[in-house]
């Protein structure tokens, strides 16, 4: 899987701008990252996102002398024309840069839009982890934000809507004599009822909690624990009722009962979502985990159904030459805790082995198709493929597909 670029620079310079559609023909496009697509044809802020037949992307623009903005766009995966687009103006007090040293999915979304971030030699990002989708409520009408007081460095949570209205959910605790409030990792409950977050104290203890978006902004504490060895972790929600999972690279299954996560000292694991919120770490209490066997060579991209995950090579180069730069599925229901992958758990290669660098950009909600980016030198192309062994990828030649898929993150394919 691809590392996310972050740049420790202040919000001072712009980047990106227009995109030359002439570079999107069948010959492929040169790899580009951090360049927001044009939205002139989109009906900004209006219309509903279709429930099916749409690829939803999110990108962040960071212009000089203007507020940052996040644009969420729906694309028709047949024609690659925009169907709907909404823009959120990021409040000045919201955390968008890694330089603030505050954890927020918004920082990850905006990372490639800072000066000097440039294009990754590995191509665009992989399909977004769960927490990036959960920056927004179900219909993409509100976006969760982490807010910072630049003087005290205290942080709290809130949300912004497409009209630009900011609602602060954290109260003013400036008169309290105690630790500086440090609420981070704001994500939205998909039903829109609450913003969830983590809070870390001076003893490195992490609390998972939620704040109601109702008038009282009531706080419900969900879980807590020692945050040691949790650097780089983020918050994702799973299940109904929702539970918070604080961990690294968390991707939840469609039914909300399982997740994959990278756990320090253990590697990639399959986690049974517990009854209460939890920190996903080695020897976590009340959390059942099963390590993904090393011989499965699986770096999880996401779930294709409630049992199986889509994998790519764990360390970039596959152990099996027939799987070089390919993808395959892993049936997690067969994992039994042993060191070796059980017979039949690891699926056969989906696409032919190749020297191209391939990255999954989107997995269809029905789990039957995927879109992947393929980088050959500096030529970046996109393909659609069935998620089945021996599939024949089909190149996406529509001009707007490059603009849709080479920038920002793919949040979902409905």
Mean pLDDT on 336-356: 93
Instruction: Report the pLDDT averaged over residues 328-346.
Output: 93
Q: What is the pLDDT of residue 338?
A: 86
Residues 6+ apart with CB under 8 A from 216: none
What whole-number distance in Å separates Cα of residue 263 and Cα of residue 247? 7
pLDDT in tens, 117-166: 434 555 678 999 999 999 999 999 999 999 999 899 999 999 999 999 99
Mean pLDDT along residues 58-84 = 91
- E-state strands within 46-190: 55-61, 69-75, 82-89, 142-148, 155-161, 166-168, 183-188
Quick one: pLDDT at residue 172?
66
Q: How many CA atoms lie within 13 A of 314 on its CB side?
A: 14
* 229, pLDDT greater than 60: yes
Query: In 22-129, where does DSSP find H-type helix?
Result: 105-110
| 3-state SS class at 382 | strand
Answer for the pair 90, 66: CB distance below 8 angstroms, yes or no: no
- How many Å is the Cα radius of gyration of the chain? 21
Query: In the 3-class helix/strand/coil scheme, how is 300-365 assigned residue by residue?
Result: EEEECCCCEEEEECCCCCCCCHHHCCCCEEEEHHHCCCCCCCCCCCECCCCCCCCCCEEEEEEEEC
- Residue-wise pLDDT tens digits, 164-177: 999 999 876 556 66
* Average pLDDT of the chain, as a whole number: 85
Q: Cα 214 to chain center, whole Å?
A: 27
pTM across the whole model = 0.85
Of the listed ranges 108-112, 255-259, 365-369, the one predicted with least confidence: 108-112
Q: Of 65-74, 222-231, 288-297, 324-333, which gets the smallest average pLDDT?
A: 222-231
**Residues 110-124: pLDDT tens digits?**
987 665 443 455 567
Closest among 237, 233, 332, 333 to 284, alpha carbons compared? 233
Q: Which pLDDT belongs to residue 17?
A: 34
- Residue 176 has a pLDDT of 64
pLDDT value for 46: 56
Which pLDDT value is given to residue 308? 98
């Amino acid at each position: 899987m691809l590392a996310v670029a972050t740049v420790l620079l202040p919000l001072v310079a712009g980047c990106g701008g227009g995109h030359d559609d002439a570079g999107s023909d069948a010959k492929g496009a040169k790899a580009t990252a951090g360049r927001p697509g044009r939205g002139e044809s989109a009906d900004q802020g209006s219309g509903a996102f279709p429930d099916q037949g749409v690829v939803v992307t999110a990108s962040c623009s960071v212009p000089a002398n203007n507020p940052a903005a996040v644009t969420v766009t729906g694309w028709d995966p047949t024609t690659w024309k925009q169907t709907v687009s909404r823009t959120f103006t990021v409040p000045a007090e919201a955390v968008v840069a890694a330089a603030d040293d505050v954890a927020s999915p918004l920082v990850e979304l905006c990372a490639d839009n800072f000066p000097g971030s440039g294009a990754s030699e590995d191509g665009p990002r992989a399909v977004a982890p769960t927490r990036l989708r959960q920056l927004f409520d179900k219909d993409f009408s509100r976006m969760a934000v982490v807010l910072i007081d630049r003087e005290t460095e205290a942080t709290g949570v809130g949300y912004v809507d497409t009209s630009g209205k900011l609602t602060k959910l954290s109260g003013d605790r400036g008169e309290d004599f105690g630790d500086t409030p440090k609420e981070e990792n704001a994500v939205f409950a998909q039903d829109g009822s609450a913003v969830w977050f983590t809070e870390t104290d001076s003893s490195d203890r992490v609390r998972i909690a939620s704040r109601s978006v109702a008038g009282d902004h009531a706080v419900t504490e969900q879980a807590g624990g020692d945050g040691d060895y949790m650097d780089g972790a983020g918050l994702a929600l799973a299940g109904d009722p929702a539970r918070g999972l604080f961990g690294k690279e968390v991707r939840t299954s469609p039914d909300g009962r399982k997740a994959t996560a990278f756990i320090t000292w253990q590697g990639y694991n399959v986690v049974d979502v517990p009854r209460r919120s939890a920190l996903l770490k080695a020897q976590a209490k009340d959390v059942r985990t099963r390590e993904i066997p090393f011989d499965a060579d699986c770096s999880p991209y996401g779930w294709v159904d409630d049992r199986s995950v889509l994998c790519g090579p764990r360390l970039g180069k596959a152990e099996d030459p027939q799987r070089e730069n390919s993808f395959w599925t892993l049936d997690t229901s067969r994992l039994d805790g042993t060191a070796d992958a059980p017979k039949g758990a690891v699926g056969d290669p989906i696409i032919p082995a190749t020297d191209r660098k391939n990255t999954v950009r989107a997995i269809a909600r029905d789990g039957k198709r995927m879109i992947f980016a393929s980088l050959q030198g500096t030529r970046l192309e996109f393909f659609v493929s069935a998620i089945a062994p021996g599939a024949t990828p089909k190149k996406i030649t529509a001009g707007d597909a490059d603009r849709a898929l080479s920038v920002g993150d793919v949040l979902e394919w409905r």
